[in-house]
Amino acid sequence: SQIKLHADYGGLVPELASRDHVRKLIPLMNQLLEESKIQKSEIDAIAYTRGPGLMGALMTGAVFGRTLAFALNKPAIGVHHMEGHMLAPLLSETPPEFPFVALLVSGGHTQLMAAHGIGQYELLGESIDDAAGEAFDKVAKMMGLAYPGGPNVSKLALQGSATAFDFPRPMLHQGLDFSFSGLKTAVSIQLKKVAGQNREADIAASFQEALVDTLVKKSVKALKQTGLKRLVIAGGVSANSRLRERLEADLAKIKAMVYYAEPALCTDNGAMIAFVGYQRLKAGQPDGLSVTTTPRWPMTELR
């Protein structure tokens, strides 16, 4: 984890991230091979994250992964980061079957997708401004909580009242798109109004409730619109326990099921990238010899 590296800055610093990747990729690989008692020669293929994301970090991983594959004379597969998140719940003990609706909520993305099969993804709606995780991180920063903000805001929310403040649920009745920047501004105004009154926990709980409420209602709407009965939630924010609780309750009412990955597979991890690489290898889709990165890459462009 690089959390300590970025914590002093209150957010992720791209250049520090990629320099640290350069330093740690080889020791990390050696440690993993040792722990899992696997020889390099036993590796069948190398999957790496091709995009979307920060160019420096993508380049580091792509050059490393592609080069390693070349050296071992094995196929390489450049994987879509959000497809990794979306399919991570397939690694759980009770994996969902296709088709399903996916709610992808990370630091950079908030999207509702209809997934009909591997590579058959239809965008139903997305955030027109801040991502859900980004809203958590910015609210955390306003409250002086450490990076990454999501887990810290939700921990503080446990001590507050979710109904203390009635924060806006933007675009609730407009299609399946999201907007969280107005909610963030409302929180900022409220924090200033009650400064010194020790109301941070109430604000955290009410903010979380407004955001979760929006995610839940739009997910239910997406299920109704598509007629699907399975919802997969993925990405860092899918680790949020209030979101899980509310989804379990509201989906039961419409006889739909919610699926998610185990906590360690919700936030960024290598297993989800390896899993998608395996699926794409099986589908006969290894990449060529070039090192490819795609910082902006809509998932609907996948085959």
Distance from C-alpha of 165 to C-alpha of 167, rounded to nearest angstrom: 6
Residue 137, binding choice from Zn ion, ligand KG4, none, Cβ under 5 to 8 Å by partner class: ligand KG4
Q: Which stretch binds ligand KG4 (CB under 6 A): 3-11, 37-45, 237-245, 285-293?
A: 237-245
Distance from C-alpha of 96 to C-alpha of 270, rounded to nearest angstrom: 20
- Exactly one of 51, 65, 96, 107 binds ligand KG4 (CB under 6 A); that residue is 107
Residue 51, binding choice from Zn ion, ligand KG4, none, Cβ under 5 to 8 Å by partner class: none
Residue 81: CB minimum distance to ligand KG4, A: 6
| Per CB under 6 A, 293 contacts ligand KG4 | no
Instruction: Please name which of 85, 18, 84 lies closest in space to residue 54, comparing C-alpha atoms.
Output: 18
| Per CB under 6 A, 133 contacts ligand KG4 | yes
Residue 171 backbone zone (phi > 0: left; psi -120 to 50: alpha; other: beta): left
| Per CB under 5 A, 268 contacts Zn ion | yes
Tokens at residue 173, please? Answer: 């009745």
Instruction: Tell me how crowded residue 278 is: count the other CB atoms within 10 A of its CB.
Output: 15
Name which of 106 and 111 has its Cβ closer to Zn ion: 106
Count of residues touching Zn ion (by CB under 5 A) = 2
| Per CB under 6 A, 287 contacts ligand KG4 | no
- Exactly one of 89, 96, 170, 235 binds ligand KG4 (CB under 6 A); that residue is 235
| Contacts with Zn ion, 228-267, as mask; x by CB under 5 A | ----------------------------------------
Q: Which stretch binds ligand KG4 (CB under 6 A): 103-111, 215-223, 279-287, 291-299?
A: 103-111
- Exactly one of 61, 84, 150, 277 binds ligand KG4 (CB under 6 A); that residue is 150
**Side chain identity at residue 229, one-letter code:** K
The edge-to-edge listing of strands for the beta sheet with 120-126 is 120-126, 110-117, 100-105, 230-234, 257-260
- Exactly one of 240, 251, 272, 276 binds ligand KG4 (CB under 6 A); that residue is 240
Distance from C-alpha of 224 to C-alpha of 238, rounded to nearest angstrom: 21
List residues binding ligand KG4 (CB under 6 A). Answer: 85, 106-108, 133, 136-137, 148-151, 154, 235-237, 239-240, 267-268
